[in-house]
Amino acid sequence: MHKRKNRVCTSWRMDETYIKVAGKDRYLYRAVDKFGDTVDFLLTKRRMKGSAQKFFNKAISNHQNPRIINIDKSGSNFTAIRAVNRSNFWNKNIKIRKCKYLNNCVEQDHRNIKRRIAIDTGFTEFESAKRTLAGIEVVSIIKRIKSLILRNPISKLSFH
């Protein structure tokens, strides 16, 4: 997914939601930039600081370092970003902003994912859930790129 993906901006909105896998709640961490482009996602078995930190490390390694991350009031996300700030090598701390209404674009993306899967039945295996969610993310990225090309075809198709 990351090979052909466009760069994202340095202002991220991050949230998590639950997905039913084999009758148990599993947590899907997702981040989008301020324009609604998907930064990264991670399905984990637990909602803890370690899971959030793993997500942030994955997202930062695949993209440039964010300048600011908007989160909701989740304590695990806050402590994970602080841990990433303590162990950073780029000498610029990530600014944390706890502002619930700025995460509305992430919440809207959660709706899209939950609409595509049956919430009451969920998935039977963790690995199949990861693969299916990755496919849903790729399809949404392709649709977004396609709509951008249709809105402004000349600037997107010139490869200078």
Q: Is 122 part of a structural domain of the chain?
A: yes
Q: Which residue has the higher pLDDT, 17 or 103?
A: 17
CATH classification at residue 134 = 3.30.420.10
Tokens of 152: 């402004």
Tokens of 87: 């162990």
Q: Which residues contact 139 (CB under 8 A, 6 or more apart)?
A: none
Q: What angle do CA 136, 139, 143 make, to 5 degrees?
A: 140
CB atoms within 10 A of CB 151: 9
* pTM of the predicted structure, to 2 decimals: 0.75
Number of domains in the chain: 1
Q: Is 102 part of a structural domain of the chain?
A: yes
Confidence tier at 38 by pLDDT (50, 70, 90):
confident
User: What local confidence, expressed as pLDDT, does residue 90 receive?
Assistant: 66
Q: Is 159 part of a structural domain of the chain?
A: no
Q: Is 114 part of a structural domain of the chain?
A: yes
Tokens of 55: 């997500």
For residue 142, the enclosing domain spans 11-151
Can you tell me the mean pLDDT for 115-141?
78
> What is the pairing mode between strands 24-33 and 38-44?
antiparallel
Can you tell me the mean pLDDT for 129-146?
82
Q: Is 4 part of a structural domain of the chain?
A: no
Q: Is 44 part of a structural domain of the chain?
A: yes
Confidence tier at 154 by pLDDT (50, 70, 90):
low
Q: Is 100 part of a structural domain of the chain?
A: yes
pLDDT digits (tens, 9 = 90+) for 48-91: 888 888 998 888 888 888 899 998 887 888 888 888 888 877 66
Does 158 score more than 70 pLDDT? no
The DSSP-derived string for the chain is --SSPPP--SEEEEEEEEEEETTEEEEEEEEEETTS-EEEEEEESS-SHHHHHHHHHHHHHHSPPPSEEEE-S-HHHHHHHHHHHHT-SSS-PPEEEE-GGGGHHHHHHHHHHHHHS-TTT-BS-HHHHHHHHHHHHHHHHHHHHHHHHHHSHHHHH---
